[in-house]
Amino acid sequence: MSVESRSLHLTNLLSYTLDVKQEDFFEPAFALTAWIAQEKNYSVGPLIFTREPLDDAGGLVRATYMKPVGIESATEQIGTLRFIKDFSLDTCLFARKYPDGKKLEDIYQEIEQYAAANQIHISKPYYHVMLDFYGEMAFDVYAPIHEV
């Protein structure tokens, strides 16, 4: 696995944030994708998400899901959904998690070890881009770099 520097730039995203049980994490993601299709929008890119454990919350994580759509403007708020015109992470450490049995936590550890070895300061949350890799899920993981 290699860690490298990359940026992430996306436009025209629908996004929402909620607290969800870790074991139910992907259900809201699939619901967002289904809602976009039901509303006769079309998705033009992969699902992007963040997840942050909530202290003392009984296994809950704060999750943000984002999905690029084929509309170029919308009100800032559609119910609980927000429209984001431009989203950018200019400088990140990047690694891909293939469907090879490794856990996302293993990828986080590799990114964090690379950052420490190279005296790079990264911040959370990490951003995940969910990809279809020959019928299985792969994830691009972006850890934002911040200046000290």
CATH number of the domain encompassing residue 120: 3.20.80.10
What pLDDT, in 10s, does the model give residues 98-143? 888 788 899 999 999 999 999 999 999 999 999 988 888 899 999 9
Q: State which residues form the domain around 96.
A: 4-144
| 50-94: pLDDT as tens digits | 999 887 667 899 999 999 988 766 655 566 788 888 999 999 999
Which pLDDT value is given to residue 33?
80
Q: Which two tokens stand for residue 146?
A: 């911040």
The single-letter code of the amino acid at 80 is: T
To the question of pTM greater than 0.85 for the whole model, the response is yes
CA angle 121, 124, 42 (to 5 degrees): 125
Q: How far is CA 46 from CA 10, 14, 33, 67, 140, in A?
A: 10, 12, 10, 6, 11
Count of C-beta atoms within a 10 Å radius of residue 81 = 20
Q: Output the pLDDT for position 65.
A: 93
8-state DSSP, 22: G
Q: Of 17, 63, 12, nearest to 41 (Cα)?
A: 12
Using alpha carbons, list the distances in angstroms from residue 135 to 19, 78, 99, 128, 132. Answer: 28, 32, 10, 18, 6
Q: How many domains does the chain have?
A: 1
Give whole-number Cα distances, 4 to 85, 91, 101, 109, in Å: 27, 10, 21, 14
**pLDDT, tens digit, for every residue of 15-43?**
989 999 988 988 888 888 887 777 666 67
